[in-house]
Each structure stands twice: as C-alpha cells, then as structure tokens.
Structure 1
Amino acid sequence: MRLEQADPRRLIAESYRIEAIRAEECRSIFLDWALGLPVEVNTRRALKRLLAEYSMQAPDHPMTAVLREGLEEAPTPRRRGGASARRN
C-alpha cells in the first residue's frame, strides 16, 4: 500500500510535524483520520503502512503509540445487566 493511500489527507503525517503534540491531540487526529478513510482502504493495512513509515523515525512520538494502539485487538464484549443480573 502506498503512503498516499494510507493517509490521503496527510493528517497523520502532519501530526508528526507538530512540536509538543500530546497524546490526547494525537487520538483526536487519529479519530478524524479513521472516520475520513475511504471505505475501500483496509484500516489495518493502512495502520501497518503508517507505522512502517514513521515508527523508526519517531519511536517515542505520541502518534506512534496511538497507531500501535489502533492495531491492538478490541476486548471481547461481556454481557452486563439484563434479567439475570436483576434477579440475583
């Protein structure tokens, strides 16, 4: 995958250029990136491409941590509440 496909609006690239950017700001940029990604682009492949591009150059950057978090598997949802919880 080309870098232009993984970051078509260059949001991630620009986040690496912002001095003193915080993790909270990186998460906000990441969300905007994810919501604006074209449907035909595989998000996991795009994340891997972005990490390959930026993680070696900026391993301690907050956006690198956010991109790595984006690749983590979501926890399995657990059932909460319901009739059985009200009976006990």
Structure 2
Amino acid sequence: MKRDPLDPKQLICESYRIEGIGPGECRSIFLDWALSLPEGQDVQAALAALVARYEPSHPDHPMTQVLRDGRGASTAPRRRGGWRSRPRQS
C-alpha cells in the first residue's frame, strides 16, 4: 500500500471504516492525526484536501464534521508538558 502524505498512519481513512463511530471518537482520532503530522506540514492545506477527498462520499459522517471544524482552527495543536515546558532551575 502506498503511503499517504496527508494521512501517514491511515487514521482518517480507517475512521471512515469503523461502524457506528461517534463524534467523540472522531475528535480523538483527529487529535492523534494532527499530532503525528510532520513538522512544517501545512495543516490547513491537509485538512482542505482531506475534506475534498471524503466529504463527497461521506457528507454526514462524524469525521467529516470534525475535519470541517478543524479547518476553522487557526493553529495546529501542540504538545504540552515534558521537560521543555518546565521552568529552568537556576
């Protein structure tokens, strides 16, 4: 199978195959997808391409709505915590 640069871990693709998936699960999958994108990836361009890919055949799917909502976000989610977020000790 060829690797998809927009969905390298196939998270979005697989979410459309899960029978009975709900909005909460889709948001969780979306967050994992966003955090796994390579640094420098244009998230808004990736979302626009994914919406264009899936919306025509899955307009009422909860993941489609999550992708649409993601397009309205101004920045990509960032990881918090860990050693980088701790204040330096003098």
Q: TM-score band (shorter)?
A: 0.7 to 0.9
Deviation at 1:40, TM superposition (A): 2.7
TM-score by length of 2: 0.76
User: 1:30 is paired with a residue of what secondary structure?
Assistant: helix
Deviation at 1:30, TM superposition (A): 0.2
In 2, the alpha carbon distance for the partners of 1:38 and 1:14 equals 19
User: 1:5 is paired with a residue of what secondary structure?
Assistant: coil
- Which structure 2 residue ranges, 5 or more long, are not aligned? 75-90
User: 1:27 is paired with a residue of what secondary structure?
Assistant: helix
Aligned residue-pair number? 72
Q: Runs ≥4 in structure 1, deviation > 3 angstroms?
A: none
In 2, the alpha carbon distance for the partners of 1:68 and 1:56 equals 13
Name the structure 2 match of 1:54.
Answer: 54
**Is contact 1:6-1:41 (8 Å) kept?**
no
Name the structure 2 match of 1:65.
Answer: 65
Residues 1:19 and 2:26 are matched in the alignment:
no
- Which structure 1 residue ranges, 5 or more long, are not aligned? 75-88
Q: State, as a whole percentage, how many aligned pairs show the same letter.
A: 54
Residues 1:9 and 2:9 are matched in the alignment:
yes
